[in-house]
C-alpha cells in the first residue's frame, strides 16, 4: 500500500495512544479500517483505565468496530507490533493487512502473520518508538504485566 496513506491512518492510532497516556494508561493505540478506507473502529489499551487485561489497543479497535460479516480487505493499524494475542486476532478473523508504527521496543507476531499471507507495513515511526521507550523506562512493571512477562 501507499505509505502516505498508511501514515495518515497511523495518525489515528497515535491519537488513541496519546489519549491512553493522558488518562494514565499504556500508550498503545489502534484503528481498524475497512476495505473501502472507512474507519470501522478505534481504541487504545485499557488495562489501567478499566482494570481490563483483555483490552489491548487492537482488541479495543476490533471491539469498537462491532460485528462484521467479513474482515477481507480490512487493515489493522497499530502504533506497536502486535503481540501474540493481537496477532492471533488478525489471523483468525482474516484481517488482510497490518500497518505498524514501530517494532523496535517490542517485536510481536507480525513475521508469523506475514508467513500466513497478511500484508505487513512497518513504518519505523520515531514518535511511536519514543512514546513506548519513555513509557517502558518509567513503568517497567506495568509494561511487563501487559505482555505477560
Q: Are the C-beta atoms of 19 and 44 separated by less than 8 Å?
A: yes
Residue placing its CB nearer to a copy of itself in the complex, 6 or 32? 32
**22, 36, 92, 115: which one contacts a copy of itself (CB under 8 A)?**
92
> Is residue 24 a contact point for a copy of itself (CB under 8 A)?
no
Say how far apart CA 96 and CA 75 lie, in whole Å: 6
Q: Any catalytic annotation for residue 58?
A: yes
In order of 13, 138, 141, 149, the CA distances from 30 in angstroms are 4, 22, 22, 22
- By the rule CB under 8 A, 83 interacts with a copy of itself: yes
Q: What is the CA radius of gyration of the chain?
A: 14
Closer CB to a copy of itself, 52 or 124, in the complex: 52
Q: Does 145 bind a copy of itself (CB under 8 A)?
A: yes
Q: Compare residues 7 and 63 and give the one whose CB is closer to a copy of itself.
A: 63
Amino acid at each position: 500500500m501507499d505509505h502516505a496513506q498508511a501514515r495518515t491512518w497511523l495518525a489515528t492510532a497515535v491519537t488513541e495512544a496519546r489519549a491512553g497516556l493522558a488518562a494514565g494508561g499504556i500508550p498503545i493505540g489502534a484503528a481498524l479500517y475497512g476495505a473501502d478506507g472507512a474507519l470501522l473502529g478505534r481504541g487504545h489499551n485499557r488495562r489501567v483505565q478499566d482494570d481490563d487485561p483483555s483490552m489491548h489497543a487492537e482488541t479495543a479497535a476490533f471491539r469498537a468496530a462491532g460485528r462484521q460479516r467479513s474482515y477481507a480487505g480490512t487493515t489493522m493499524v497499530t502504533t506497536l507490533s502486535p503481540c501474540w494475542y493481537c496477532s492471533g486476532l488478525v489471523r483468525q478473523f482474516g484481517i488482510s493487512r497490518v500497518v505498524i508504527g514501530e517494532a523496535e521496543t517490542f517485536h510481536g507476531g507480525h513475521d508469523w502473520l506475514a508467513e500466513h499471507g497478511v500484508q505487513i507495513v512497518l513504518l519505523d515511526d520515531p514518535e511511536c518508538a519514543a512514546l513506548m521507550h519513555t513509557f517502558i523506562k518509567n513503568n517497567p512493571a506495568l509494561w511487563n504485566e501487559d505482555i505477560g512477562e
